Amino acid sequence: MDSLVESFVHYMAVERGLAPNTLESYERDLTAYVGFLERAGIVDVHRVEPVAITGYLQDLRERGRASATVSRNVASIRAFHSFLVREGVTADDPAVDLPSPRQTRRLPRVMTADEVVQLLAQPMGPSAIGVRDRAMLELLYATGLRVSELISLRVVDVNLAATFLQCFGKGSKERIVPFGRLAAQAVTDYVRNARPTLVKDATQSALFVNHLGERLTRQGFWKIIKKYALQANIHTVITPHTLRHSFATHLLENGADLRAVQEMLGHADISTTQIYTHVTHERLREVYMKAHPRARRNDGKDWSP
């Protein structure tokens, strides 16, 4: 079955053009699934029955896996068995009636405007690394890019004169995202004064590079943002995606159109973007309950059941 998983991942890469991160998730999920089947004595894909699949999903739950992880595994297993039927490997699809587990939709962690200001103020001094870090943080908050999109930027992808950039998101979909004056200033400073001292190879096309002059990695950027969050005395967990969530929420709080935010984030479905409207509603309610003199009971609790 391992070779069938490899064939499936290859098909999704070549025929569907899925992003590397998505392909890694498929491979990871299906490798674990096949391992479970083999430990249960099922080594032939033709012998897989619905009860074996539900047993695997139950095993995931018993091991404390989040509902989002279980749902992702359901999607991976469905796609895999559908592929096997389509390719004529198997005649029946044991996952066709597999129910999707219900997920509790958690609201994303969003920074306050003051926290963003504190974070962006941390990279200080004239060092090339400090100038680079300030440019990355400013650009990330100004555009709401995913960290993979940020580190994939090339110098030619950023138009500093017109203040917009071109990036390739999930599924290699291209989009154009504007950014503001402060981000433009920070990136201009980096490109003119810091990047030339970091780059060792004149053919390097990456916009953001590490101290060796090579393209910065996801792990490298995670360490950077974690360091500055600690310096800013922000004690909750701050990730690159937190800035993306904050970008979207702050835009909506200040009157931005939902469709425009969807376009800037690169969401294929507007329902994904609508999670941020729930965040803004929650924040508005929180402000109201704290500020309105007749919003709370004498014991300090609100009136909701």
Q: Which domains does the chain have, with CATH numbers?
A: 2-86 (1.10.150.130), 113-288 (1.10.443.10)
Answer yes or no: 190 catalytic.
no
With a threshold of 0.75, does the pTM exceed it? no
Q: Is the pLDDT of residue 164 over 90?
A: yes
pLDDT mean across residues, the chain: 86
Cα 129 to the chain's mean position, in Å?
Answer: 25
End-to-end CA distance of the chain: 52
pLDDT in tens, 200-209: 898 999 999 9
- Which entry of 56, 190, 228, 276 is annotated as an active-site residue? 276
Answer yes or no: 276 catalytic.
yes
The reported pLDDT for the residue numbered 271 is: 76
- Which entry of 109, 226, 241, 283 is annotated as an active-site residue? 241
pLDDT in tens, 65-76: 888 888 889 999
Answer yes or no: 33 catalytic.
no
Give percent above pLDDT 90 in the chain. 47
pLDDT in tens, 167-219: 887 767 789 999 999 999 999 999 999 999 999 898 999 999 999 999 999 88
- Which entry of 132, 146, 195, 245 is annotated as an active-site residue? 146
pLDDT in tens, 29-41: 999 999 999 999 9
- Separation of alpha carbons 161 and 184, rounded Å: 8
Answer yes or no: 267 catalytic.
yes
The long-range contacts involving 94-103, CB below 8 angstroms and separated by at least 24 positions, are: 94/48, 94/49, 94/50, 94/52, 94/53, 95/50, 95/53, 97/50, 98/50, 98/53, 98/54, 98/74, 100/71, 100/74, 101/57, 101/67, 101/70, 101/71, 101/74, 102/67, 103/67, 103/68, 103/71
Answer yes or no: 146 catalytic.
yes
The reported pLDDT for the residue numbered 188 is: 96
Distances, alpha carbon 56 to alpha carbons 40, 50, 52, 278, 297, in Å: 10, 10, 6, 34, 48
- Separation of alpha carbons 229 and 237, rounded Å: 8
Q: Which residue has the higher pLDDT, 279 or 118?
A: 118
Query: Do 137 and 246 meet the contact criterion of CB atoms below 8 Å apart?
Result: no
Answer yes or no: 244 catalytic.
yes
- The DSSP secondary-structure symbol of 156 reads G
- Which entry of 109, 170, 215, 218 is annotated as an active-site residue? 170
- pLDDT-derived band at 159 (thresholds 50, 70, 90) equals very high
Query: Do 283 and 290 meet the contact criterion of CB atoms below 8 Å apart?
Result: no
